[in-house]
Amino acid sequence: MSNSTFLRKCTKSLLSAANFVVFSYLDVLDFVFCVVYKFLDAFFEGKASPCYCTSTSTSKKMSENGSNGKSWDFGNDEEIGMSETLLGRKKKSMKFIGLLEFVGKLLNKKQGVGDSSRKPKNGGVPRLGNRWSECGCDACISWMKNDDPKLHVVVKEASSSQAIIRDSKENPNPSENVIFIHGILSSSSFWTKTLFPKLSESEKSNEYNMFAVDILGYGQSPKPRDNLYTLKDHVEWIEKSVVTEYQLNSYHLVAHSMGCIIALALAAKHPKSIKSVTLVAPPYFPSKDGVEFTAINRFTPKRLWPPVEFISSIMAWDLNFMLLDLTKHTHHSGWHTTHNVLYRGVKQMDTNLETLMKSKKKVHVIVGTEDTSVPADCGHNIKKKFLDVEVNHIPNAGHRSIVFGREKDFAHDLFRIWENAAADHSNLHDV
């Protein structure tokens, strides 16, 4: 055995040992914080928040208000849209369950010190006041002033129409519509600050109404505490805030990263309205048993080295001081969206793609050859299973640089996709 080989093996063994020690400590710390925050929640808000570490009966209490005010049975996570990576937490915490349930019973005996809930008028979305442990900036709480809150949407109207025509009968040549959906740790500015200016430079942009949306819990959009932020929730809020609000009968979809999961779900639900779907750096895994845990291990590996993977790994822990709290979304919205959309959503991508293929819809996948955030072979795996999907590999492009730094080329690609989709749609009508 050469010295270099021996050194590599020693280094690998030391890193493995360090990984085990550090992440075992973080696992214990996770449950310690669970107890600590139960006490702090009871002290500041008058009621301890349930968690996923305890029994199913306790978890049910988390959704008494449920998603969109519904009452859910946590025994059927397939119906609710809850990720196994959340519900599986109690399996990892068997030694701590007794302590957590004891703390929960102790705190629930205390009287509430005030009710921060506020019932909306006219059957609007029920919501709770801002939590003591989360940001109280205007971006996070301003939506509470509206009795019928909607997602924040940046709209760029087609200049040829001067206004969005809601009824196609009023306009014999209506402009086409495009909905842009961002990924995790992002907002609509991912598109509006980079791609929109380049799209606007072309005269072709006069033919398109463009809608860049802040998904539920992100950017300037509502961040309700009584929402589980499932894939179904995200789709319904986009329907309410964009499709229904602007009466879009047909539209193109463009999505990046985790937003691709939401875009596919929306498209599969309304295939007749879809003109094209463009997926940029989609987090695709072939659907099979345990794919949710495959995703969490891929996106948040328990590694100390390199540093970027350690930062990713701590995102899976329930820590209120993690990176998600430092940006424009709450811990509750960010953490639930990560588990219920990113980790669980990959499980539904094949089904949604199959629906679109059966409907003869155009799906385009754009991936960077240097993207380390999604599986390197995701483009090949999609093409292998869905032959009609167009896959374009961009040399030397990363997860974000697939758009950033090449906005002009990306805009050109999108115009080509939209024009081809319009031509195909016209040919179908001629036939």
Provide the residue type at 414 as one letter. Answer: L
Q: Is-catalytic flag, 257?
A: yes
Q: Which of 320, 371, 322, 354 is nearest to 183 (CA)?
A: 371
CA distances from 104 to 39, 55, 91, 181, 184 (A): 9, 11, 18, 39, 32
Q: Is-catalytic flag, 371?
A: yes
Q: Which DSSP helix (H) or strand (E) runs through 4?
A: helix 3-45
Q: Is-catalytic flag, 182?
A: yes
N-to-C CA span, the chain: 70
Q: Which residue in 30, 214, 226, 371 is the catalytic one?
A: 371
Return the SS3 of 374. coil
Q: Which of 124, 148, 182, 127 is nearest to 327 (CA)?
A: 182
CA distances from 69 to 118, 324, 330 (A): 13, 25, 19
Provide the residue type at 50 as one letter. Answer: P
Burial class (CB in 10 A: 0-12, 13-18, 19+), 321: exposed
DSSP code at position 430? H
Respond yes or no on whether the N-terminal peptide bond of residue 306 is cis (omega within 30° of 0): yes
Q: Which residue in 30, 152, 182, 205 is the catalytic one?
A: 182
Phi then psi for 390, rounded to 5 degrees?
Answer: -90, 120
Q: Is-catalytic flag, 167?
A: no
Sheet of 153-156: strands edge to edge?
Answer: 153-156, 208-213, 176-181, 251-256, 274-280, 362-368, 390-394
Q: Which residue in 257, 276, 313, 333 is the catalytic one?
A: 257
Strands 176-181 and 208-213: parallel
Q: Which residues have a Cβ under 8 Å from the Cβ of 169 and sit 6 or more positions away?
A: none
- Give 385-402 as a 3 state SS string: HCCCCEEEEECCCCCCCC
Say how far apart CA 365 and CA 279 lie, in whole Å.
Answer: 5
Question: Which residue do the tokens 């919205």 mark?
Answer: 333
Residue 256 near residue 90 (C-beta atoms within 8 A) = no
Say how far apart CA 79 and CA 76 lie, in whole Å.
Answer: 6
Say how far apart CA 420 and CA 204 lie, in whole Å.
Answer: 13
Token code pair at residue 202: 């072309």
- Annotated catalytic residues are 182, 257, 371, 399
